[in-house]
Amino acid sequence: MVVLGIETSCDETSCALVKEGKEILSNLVSSSIDFHRRFGGIIPEAASRYHLEYIIPLLEKTIKNANIELKDLSLVAVTYGPGLLGALMVGLNVAKAISFSLKIPLIPINHIVAHLYACFLNKDTYPELPSIGLVVSGGHTELFYIKEFNELKLLGKTRDDACGEAFDKVAKILGLGFPGGPVIEERAKKGKSRIKFKCAKFKDSLDFSFSGIKTAVLYYVKKITQDGKRLSEEEINDICASFQEKVFEILVENARRACIMRKTKSLILGGGVVANSYLREKMKEMGDREKIKIYFPPQELCTDNGAIVAGLGYRLFKLENIITDYSLEPKPIIEIGG
């Protein structure tokens, strides 16, 4: 069974073909990030126009690379939310057209849950359920108990900024550009985590909060630069290292607590921030201490892509009797298992 996955929730246009939910035949991504970089963030209207321009050529190339034809498709899976409304609409309409013309099922996919499926496309390991799942990306920071991919319970979420969003904002404060994640990771490698930034902890909750540490960085920078002094490269590196250290400490601790509370010895990670090598290192250290098996997605599947959409589409099709609904609308905001 070959599944077509379409992803257009934000600034990446992606189409992929996955066989039997685990073998990636083709996975192409075209990003408009270079356009958005100059504005310091994603421009929704521009992202939608980019999807419109590139999705059909990308789809054709994806099929050609897999050496198959449209008639070979068994399912089409598409992200319907959460994300940018206009961007989601582009992918959803293309998916509907393919489903209708080929008379094959249309599988709606939740973007957040798809990130958790990335670990199931790793050739080296295949997670077992139930498990704890942690999604850490530019728009989401959420903890789940995963009994199955159609049965998730939300355990904790951010009360303000998502983790990746906090990285972007701190990078902007430091004049490092957009997106912030990769550049902060690189600068942190050269710095020392000597600054004691504080990040909110909740004793009775697994929720996250990153707005406080972002503000702490802002005030720290203002204090140093108030007399016209500029931050040195060493100071910037130390701020990045200290910020990253504290944020990851919270992510690791909440994930550990979730595993203990649910008596689960398995943790699945997903989302763009999980590409960070230092976060992987800290998670692995925690897993070794607590005897928890940590599952990391392949680096290339951390960011938005069609392969995770197609893979999850196959899994859900096997789990449920899904009826194709062409009245399906994009949902910019979706609550999962609360």
Element containing residue 19 per DSSP (H, E): strand 12-19
Q: Is the residue at 329 inside a domain?
A: no
Q: Is the residue at 259 inside a domain?
A: yes
Q: Is the residue at 163 inside a domain?
A: yes
Q: Is the residue at 106 inside a domain?
A: yes
pLDDT cut 70: percent of the chain above it: 99
Extract the residue ranges of the chain whose pLDDT is less than 50: none
8 A C-beta contact, residue 159 and residue 142: no
The answer to whether residues 247 and 312 belong to one domain is: no
The answer to whether residues 153 and 73 belong to one domain is: no
The answer to whether residues 136 and 89 belong to one domain is: no
The parent domain of residue 198 ranges over: 125-296
The answer to whether residues 287 and 312 belong to one domain is: no
The answer to whether residues 271 and 198 belong to one domain is: yes
* pTM for this prediction: 0.95
pLDDT score of 39:
81
The answer to whether residues 312 and 258 belong to one domain is: no
pLDDT score of 258:
98
pLDDT score of 338:
52
The answer to whether residues 51 and 166 belong to one domain is: no
Structural domains of the chain, count: 2
The answer to whether residues 158 and 222 belong to one domain is: yes
Q: Is the residue at 335 inside a domain?
A: no
Q: Which of 66, 84, 70, 82 is nearest to 26 (CA)?
A: 66
CA 120 to chain centre: 15
pLDDT score of 124:
78
The answer to whether residues 272 and 311 belong to one domain is: no
Pairing between strand 75-81 and 106-110?
parallel
pLDDT, tens digit (0-9, with 9 covering 90-100), for 267-312 = 999 999 999 999 999 999 999 999 999 999 999 999 999 999 999 9
The answer to whether residues 179 and 290 belong to one domain is: yes
CATH code: domain of residue 51: 3.30.420.40
pLDDT score of 138:
87
Give every CB contact of residue 246 below 8 A, 6+ residues apart in sequence. Answer: 193, 197, 198, 199, 213
DSSP state of 72: G
The answer to whether residues 144 and 186 belong to one domain is: yes
Q: Which of 152, 142, 145, 120 is nearest to 131 (CA)?
A: 145
Q: Is the residue at 16 inside a domain?
A: yes
The answer to whether residues 199 and 243 belong to one domain is: yes
Q: Is the residue at 326 inside a domain?
A: no
pLDDT score of 337:
66
